[in-house]
Amino acid sequence: MLPLRVDVSRETITYPIEIKSGHLKNIGSFLQKLKIGTHAVVVTNPIVRKHHGNTLLSSLREAGFEVEVLEVPSGEESKSAVVAFELIAKIAEHHAGKDVFIVAFGGGVVGDLAGYVASAYRRGIPYIQVPTTFLAQIDSAIGGKVAVDLPFGKNLVGAFYHPKVVYSDITTLLTLDKRQIRNGLAEAVKYGVICDKNVFFFIESNVEALLGCNEKVLTEIVYQCSRIKSNIVSRDEREEKGLRVILNFGHTVGHAIEAACDYQEYHHGEAIALGMRIVAEISLQMRLAKEDDVNRLNHLLSRVGLPERIEGPRLPEILNRMRHDKKFKSGNNRFVLMTGLGSVKVREGIDPQIIQSAIEKYSGNS
């Protein structure tokens, strides 16, 4: 068990991250002990339900829970305010007056959507995260930020709302395709760069085993990344102390690339990998990072099979999207830059020429 302690406004919230292979079948008895409620509303998508639904649902039912499954289509379109309020209406209709809790059973979309529904219904009901993608297990299920999108922007409706447990079963990763594993590995590499060089070295030594879904190495990397994220979130839950910001390494540029490509071309981790290459280049040009470390990062991202160049003529659109990033403080640019493997620094007001030339270096038609 990896305990996660988060301090929120003088009140302490503590919840575990349970990481193991094959413990999904025990989730019912685990939740009985947690005394979380009697009626489980499982929010999931058809793919996760097909692969792992029986295991979860049987375990919950055998433990005596009343269970309802609410399926949403796979994909980002489900992470919308409209879908969230449809779910809330169904829960209110079917479970009025019941001791209900929500099970977010899927990847990042389901986790954010179900977490937001839990935060909003009756001003907050208990929920748990059961992440089934690599990216969700090491990143999106941990941290308490839940949100849905509006037609004019992502994550515009949301809350800080923590689950009672993050229950990560490594065997759910074995049904993922390689692209999804690569996608998660981009964030794992990020953790290595921002705060733990041993995690970076571990990925370097185990790329093939990770891509081959070796359960032992996957368990170790999920554990290490969960430890890093929970540690950062515990010290700066609401991004107020300047600590949590380092999780955005590669994300300002990465988000701009995703948006410039209308969220079609790249999966999140792929865009973040490009973002990390670009901020590493900015770090190099500003003489903060050593060439060897930047080359080592780029080499590892390539070995994982993450993109090396931005496809198409995107530069003006990427620059424009970056200017509108809500993380740019009062119009001033702000980047998390690497100073070595395992260490980063936040810098503001970077010369736009340096940013532009770093993006150009990784642009397909430069």
Q: Which of residues 143-162 bind ligand GLY (CB under 6 A)?
A: 143-145
Q: What's the min distance (Å) between Cβ of 129 and ligand GLY?
A: 9
Q: In angstroms, what is the minimal distance from the CB of 139 to ligand GLY?
A: 6
d(CA 350, CA 339): 15
Amino acid at 159: A
* Of 5 and 299, CB closest to ligand GLY: 5
For ligand GLY, the closer of residues 28 and 144 by Cβ is 144
Nearer to ligand GLY, 18 or 187 (CB): 187
Q: Residue 364 Cβ, how far from ligand GLY at the closest point, in Å?
A: 30
User: What minimum distance in Å lies between the beta carbon of 4 and ligand GLY?
Assistant: 11
163 binds ligand GLY (CB under 6 A): no
Interacting stretch for ligand GLY, rule CB under 6 A, among 91-99, 141-149, 197-205, 255-263? 141-149
Smallest separation, CB 266 to ligand GLY (Å)? 19
Alpha-carbon separation of residue 65 from 91, 100, 108, 149, 173 (angstroms): 16, 10, 25, 31, 26
Return the number of the residue (172 or 234) whose C-beta is nearest ligand GLY.
234
Q: Is 144 or 342 the residue whose CB approaches ligand GLY more closely?
A: 144
Residues 305, 204: Cα–Cα separation, whole Å: 13
Task: Please enumerate in sequence order all residues whose Cβ is within 8 A of that of 51, keeping only pairs 6 or more positions apart, or say none.
Answer: 132, 172, 175
Half-sphere exposure at residue 363, Cβ-oriented, CA atoms within 13 angstroms? 20
Closer to ligand GLY by CB, 215 or 239: give it.
239
CB of 321 to ligand GLY, least distance (A): 21
| Secondary structure E strands in the chain | 2-8, 11-20, 39-44, 66-71, 100-106, 127-131, 145-150, 153-160, 166-169, 334-340, 343-348
Q: Candidates 142-150, 194-202, 292-300, 304-312 — which segment interacts with ligand GLY by CB under 6 A?
A: 142-150
Residue 62 Cβ, how far from ligand GLY at the closest point, in Å?
Answer: 30
Tokens 């059973």, located at residue: 105
* Residue corresponding to tokens 């509006």: 150
What is the smallest separation between the CB atom of 277 and ligand GLY, expressed in angstroms?
22
CB-CB neighbours of 102 under 10 Å: 27
114 by DSSP, 3-state: which? helix
Residue nearest to ligand GLY (CB): 143
Does 119 help bind ligand GLY (rule: CB under 6 A)?
no
Nearer to ligand GLY, 79 or 314 (CB): 79
DSSP string, 218-254: HHHHHHHHHHHHHHHHHH-TTS-SSSGGGGGTTHHHH
What is the total residue count of the chain?
Answer: 366
Between 145 and 255, CB nearer to ligand GLY: 145
DSSP string, 124-142: ---EEEEE-SHHIIIIITS
Q: Is 140 in the site for ligand GLY (CB under 6 A)?
A: yes
Q: What is the total count of residues that contact ligand GLY (CB under 6 A)?
A: 4
The window from 68-76, 138-146, 251-259, 355-363 that contacts ligand GLY (CB under 6 A) reads 138-146
Write out the residues near ligand GLY by the rule CB under 6 A.
Answer: 140, 143-145
